[in-house]
Structures are given as C-alpha cells and as structure tokens.
C-alpha cells in the first residue's frame, strides 16, 4: 500500500475568513500502513512526495480557505510508525505576518559528478644476498627480503560527487544572519563529524570529504533570513583490481622473486582501505607481511545530518 496522509488536527484561524491577516496550522499523520514498510526521511522532506500524499507544502494555499492563507513553513518529527507534519499558514494578503521559509527545506542548486585519476605507489620487495658473521666468525651468506628499487604505481579512477545546497541556515533565531569565525565553528560541527564517514547515497557508497565552499547569497531582512550556498564533496573509491588473479599469502604475492602488495585474488587493495607493510626483524629471511585496514567509518545516513541537506 502506498504511503498515506491523514489530517489529525485542524488549526484555528483568526480573521482570515474575513480576508484580514490571519494564521492557522494543521497537523498531518504521514505513514505507510503496509507492515514492515515506512516513510523515509528522504520522502518526508520531499515537496513532491508531500503533495502526492495530500499534504500542502511551501507556497500552497489552505485546503478550505483558499487564497486567504498560504503555507509559510513546515515542521516534521517522527511519530509512531510514521511522521507528524505540522503545516503553518499565514495570510497571503500582506507581508506583515510573513514567516520565514522552512530553514530545513533543501534546495540543490547543482549536483555534479566528475572523475579524476590518482596514482597509488606500492612498495616492492625482493630478496638480496647479505653476508653476516657466524658464531665462529666466518662469513655466511643469507637471502633476506628488503625493499626493492622497482617502481610500482597503479592508477585508481576516483569518482567525485559535489552538491551545492542553497538554503536559509546560519546564525540568528530564524537560521539566517551573518557568519563569524566563531559562529561558523559552532554551527557546522556536523560537517566535521562526518568527514571520512561512508555515506550511502542513491544506493552507492561515498566517502564524505567535507565542506568545500560557504558563501552568502542574500542579506537577511526583518522578514526573511539570509540565504547561504554550501558546497559539499564526496569521493567514491573503486579500489584497485588484482590483474594477476593470484592468491596472496599474508598480503603479498611473489612474482619472479619479487613481492607485491595484494589484498586478495580480486583486489590489490579493496575500496576504502589503507595498508602498511613490515617484516620480521628477528628473521629477515621470512617474506614481508602487508596489513590492511578500513580508512572510513560506516554512517549510511550521515549525509542527511549535514546543514541544509535532508535526505
């Protein structure tokens, strides 16, 4: 069954019925009655979805009072197995009671995907003959593993996703105003908390790089907060495939006497992974070992917490 909306509370109006300035607020329960399903945060913050299920959204008129009252703001909060959406109206006949637009409503001015090619340098190991004294002081030759002078550089094609969001979020009681260095630090901790987090966007995994640009588009007025433009950036790491198909031992494959870093038969290094190498200092005749670690933290919906973005 498709999601539905049910108006659970009809707000009071003042003299809007007579054409004067007035206000009202309605509350809608938005839910999906199919067991095991629900309404996602992406849907509840989509104007198109709200209209589809019968909830007036920004700029719409009141369902009973028509052009006398227009939607000026919405608020949303989880409720039970769905959401509670409060729709606030103000008089459409004048600006004296005008309320700011929903400061949380996303407005993507551009979404762009590009790519770049990164060079990843891998260490190469090889066996060398060294001479060491034995217990009876005679010279003994040994074959030990050491770093090679061989250069091993792989290309990695990285996809880059950028989204520019325009919205009314900033300082001040209504989410607008001017930013100072101090207020910037206080307003955007959510950005710093998400850096290097792995987000799932459109069914794909992206590493959040950070906030690349912040710019003020409009000045704040008594009626409306300032509008800001924010540019966020993500990267998608495809990893580097193992062209040999060989199965490594302790993260190393040996080809023609040389040791190459390799994570598994499919990948030299898997997506969103870092590595380090080392040998046994007590027995340098043993092959080196490569250890692989994830360099991100999974936070599937973390991107929805970024200022100005609601999935």
86, 27 in Cβ contact below 8 A? Answer: yes
252, 261 in Cβ contact below 8 A? Answer: yes
CA atoms of 11 and 6, how far apart (whole Å): 14
Q: Is residue 162 packed enough to be buried (19+ CB in 10 Å), middle (13-18) or exposed (0-12)?
A: middle
Low-confidence residues of the chain: pLDDT under 50:
13-20, 94-106, 170-176, 311
pLDDT tens column, 219-254: 666 666 666 677 889 999 999 999 888 999 999 999
The secondary element (H helix, E strand) that includes residue 184 is helix 181-187
Residue whose entry in the numeric block shows the structure tokens 């606030």:
88
206, 161 in Cβ contact below 8 A? Answer: yes
> What is residue 124's predicted lDDT score, i.e. its pLDDT?
94
Q: Is 50 helix (H, G, I), strand (E, B) or coil?
A: helix
> What is residue 101's predicted lDDT score, i.e. its pLDDT?
29
Residue whose entry in the numeric block shows the structure tokens 């949303």:
76
Q: How far is CA 221 from the centre of its chain?
A: 31
99, 69 in Cβ contact below 8 A? Answer: no
Radius of gyration of the chain (CA): 30
pLDDT tens column, 114-143: 888 899 999 999 988 888 777 777 778 888
pTM of the model: 0.57
Ramachandran category for residue 218: left, alpha or beta (phi over 0 → left; psi -120 to 50 → alpha):
beta
């Amino acid at each position: 069954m498709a999601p539905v909306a049910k108006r659970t509370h009809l707000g009071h109006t003042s003299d809007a019925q007579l054409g004067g300035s007035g206000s009202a607020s309605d509350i809608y329960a938005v839910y999906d009655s199919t067991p095991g399903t629900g309404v996602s945060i992406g849907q509840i913050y989509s104007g198109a979805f709200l209209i589809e299920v019968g909830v007036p959204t920004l700029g719409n008129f009141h369902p009973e009072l028509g052009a006398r009252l227009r939607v000026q703001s919405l608020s949303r909060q989880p409720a039970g197995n769905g959401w509670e959406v409060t729709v606030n109206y103000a008089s459409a006949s004048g600006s004296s009671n005008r309320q700011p637009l929903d400061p949380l409503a996303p407005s993507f001015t551009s979404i762009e995907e590009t790519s770049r090619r990164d060079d990843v340098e891998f260490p190469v190991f090889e066996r060398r003959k060294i001479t060491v004294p034995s217990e009876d002081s005679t010279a003994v030759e040994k074959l030990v593993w050491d770093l090679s002078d061989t250069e091993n550089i792989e290309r990695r094609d990285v996809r880059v996703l950028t989204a520019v969001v325009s919205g009314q979020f900033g300082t001040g009681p209504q989410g607008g105003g001017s930013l100072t260095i101090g207020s910037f630090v206080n307003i955007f901790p959510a950005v710093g908390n998400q850096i290097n987090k792995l987000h799932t966007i459109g069914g794909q995994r992206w590493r959040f790089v950070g906030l690349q640009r912040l710019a003020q588009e409009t000045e704040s007025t008594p009626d409306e907060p300032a509008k800001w433009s924010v540019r966020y950036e993500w990267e998608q790491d495809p990893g580097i495939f193992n062209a040999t198909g060989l199965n490594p031992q302790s993260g190393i494959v040996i080809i023609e006497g040389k040791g190459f870093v390799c994570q598994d038969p499919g990948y030299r290094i898997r997506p969103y992974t870092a590595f380090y190498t080392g040998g046994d200092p007590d027995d340098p005749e043993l092959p080196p070992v490569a250890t692989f670690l994830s360099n991100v933290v999974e936070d599937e919906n973390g991107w929805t917490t970024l200022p100005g973005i609601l999935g």
